[in-house]
Amino acid sequence: MKWPLGWLLPLDVVVDPLDASHAHCMAELHAGTFSRPWTDGEFHDLLSKPAVFGYVARELRWGKARILGFVLARAAAGEAEILTIAVAPDWQGHGLGRKLMHAVLSKAHGDRVESIFLEVDETNTPAISLYRRLGFFEVGGRPDYYRDNAGRLSAALVMRRDLR
């Protein structure tokens, strides 16, 4: 089912700050959404760094929690970058990506971050649309930066959103 207003989530979906205890579930979800998945250990190491923060969306049902999506970011010296964002395939298109990005933008704004950057594959239309709708714009590119499983190369777009 798709909700008519993407930013309104069902009551049993909550968005909370990430911590290292989420590393295993993040790695599982990442493996289901990216061709080059990051490991538990990589997520654990990142989340142990004070500059790294993020948010997780969980569905709470029958006393159990399932991770539906997460976003990971890093902030330093007045700038931040989105390291990765993933939403479970069966939950994509329901407003979760937007909700998670809003959580990061809101924290970055509160922390007086001036600009937030990200890199995205030029062929990733859903992600580029999400970022553009949130006010990100293209500021550069890295040719032949990604290689898919068939060996095709594509560029990374570098995008920026100013917060002040």
Structure tokens at 98: 């937007």
Stretch that binds ligand COA, among 14-22, 41-49, 59-67, 86-94 (CB under 6 A): 86-94
Question: Could you say which of 119, 122, 138, 145 is catalytic?
Answer: 119
- Is residue 10 at the binding interface for ligand COA, with CB under 6 A as the rule? no
- Is residue 126 at the binding interface for ligand COA, with CB under 6 A as the rule? yes
- Is residue 74 at the binding interface for ligand COA, with CB under 6 A as the rule? no
Please, what is the minimum distance in Å from the beta carbon of residue 45 to ligand COA?
20
- Is residue 96 at the binding interface for ligand COA, with CB under 6 A as the rule? yes
Nearer to ligand COA, 82 or 113 (CB): 82
Q: Please provide residue 149's backbone torsions phi and psi, each rounded to the nearest 5 degrees.
A: -65, -20
Rg (CA), the chain: 16
Indicate which single residue of 129, 139, 141, 152 sits in contact with ligand COA (rule: CB under 6 A): 129
Stretch that binds ligand COA, among 72-80, 93-101, 106-114, 146-154 (CB under 6 A): 93-101
Nearer to ligand COA, 112 or 133 (CB): 133
Stretch that binds ligand COA, among 18-26, 38-46, 94-102, 138-146 (CB under 6 A): 94-102
- Residues in the interface with ligand COA (CB under 6 A) total 20
Q: Are 130 and 111 in contact (CB under 8 A)?
A: no
Q: Which residue has the tokens 């991770």?
A: 67
- Which residues sit at the interface with ligand COA, rule CB under 6 A? 6, 33, 85-87, 92-98, 120, 124-127, 129-130, 133
